[in-house]
C-alpha cells in the first residue's frame, strides 16, 4: 500500500538532497571577512542543517552558538543578524540551485521547462523587478540580470517558479 500521508516532521522538513549537495560543494564560500577555520565550521553547520531540514532560525542559532560575534550586525531591516543573513543566503543559494538543476534535468528528459522570477517582500531592487517583468522564460536561459536562478544578491527575498512550457493554444 502506498504511503498517502506524511508525518508533520516529513511534511514540514526543509531537507532537500540537491540543496545539501550544493552546500557540501559550495557552502560558506561567499561569506566574507572570515578565516578558513570559521568557514569550515560554518560549512559543516550549513550542511548538517540542510541534511536535517533545519529552519533558518535553527541554523542561525547553531552559527551564533559557535560564533557569538555573528549574533549582531546586518544592514538589512528584515534580517536580524549576520548569522541570520548567512542562514538565509546560503539556503537560498542551495535551494535555488537545487530547483534549477531539477528543472534542467526535466528539460534534459524532453520536457520543455520555463521559469519565472517571483519577487516577494518590500524594497525590491531594480534587477529583481526587471527579472520578474520578463515573465516566463526558458529554464536554460538567464534573466536580464544575468542570473540563472535566485537569489540575485544578499538578503534577496525572491524565489523562482517553474512549469512545463505551454505549447500551442
With cut-offs at 50, 70 and 90, classify the pLDDT of residue 114.
Answer: very high
Nearest to 89 by CA among 6, 14, 168, 154: 154
Dist. CA 75–CA 80, nearest whole Å: 9
> Tell me: the pLDDT tens digits for 7-25?
555 545 567 899 999 999 9
Do 72 and 82 touch, CB atoms closer than 8 A? yes
Do 52 and 88 touch, CB atoms closer than 8 A? no
Mean pLDDT of 26-44: 96
H helix intervals, 109-158: 126-133
Name, in order, each residue with C-beta under 8 angstroms of 42's C-beta and a sequence gap of 6 or more.
27, 28, 31, 34, 63, 66, 67, 86
Q: Where are the domains of the chain?
A: 15-94, 111-164
Amino acid at each position: 500500500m502506498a504511503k498517502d500521508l506524511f508525518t508533520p516532521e516529513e511534511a514540514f522538513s526543509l531537507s532537500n538532497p540537491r540543496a545539501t549537495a550544493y552546500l557540501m560543494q559550495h557552502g560558506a564560500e561567499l561569506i566574507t571577512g572570515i578565516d578558513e577555520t570559521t568557514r569550515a565550521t560554518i560549512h559543516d553547520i550549513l550542511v548538517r542543517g540542510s541534511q536535517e531540514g533545519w529552519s533558518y532560525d535553527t541554523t542561525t542559532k547553531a552559527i551564533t552558538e559557535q560564533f557569538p560575534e555573528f549574533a549582531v550586525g546586518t544592514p538589512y531591516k528584515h534580517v536580524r543578524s549576520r548569522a541570520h543573513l548567512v542562514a538565509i543566503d546560503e539556503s537560498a543559494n542551495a535551494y535555488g540551485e537545487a530547483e534549477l538543476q531539477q528543472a534542467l534535468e526535466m528539460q534534459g528528459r524532453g520536457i520543455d521547462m520555463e521559469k519565472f522570477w517571483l519577487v516577494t517582500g518590500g524594497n525590491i531592487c531594480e534587477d529583481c523587478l526587471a527579472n520578474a517583468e520578463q515573465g516566463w522564460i526558458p529554464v536554460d536561459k538567464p534573466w536580464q540580470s544575468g542570473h540563472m536562478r535566485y537569489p540575485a544578491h544578499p538578503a534577496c527575498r525572491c524565489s523562482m517558479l517553474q512549469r512545463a512550457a505551454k505549447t500551442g493554444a
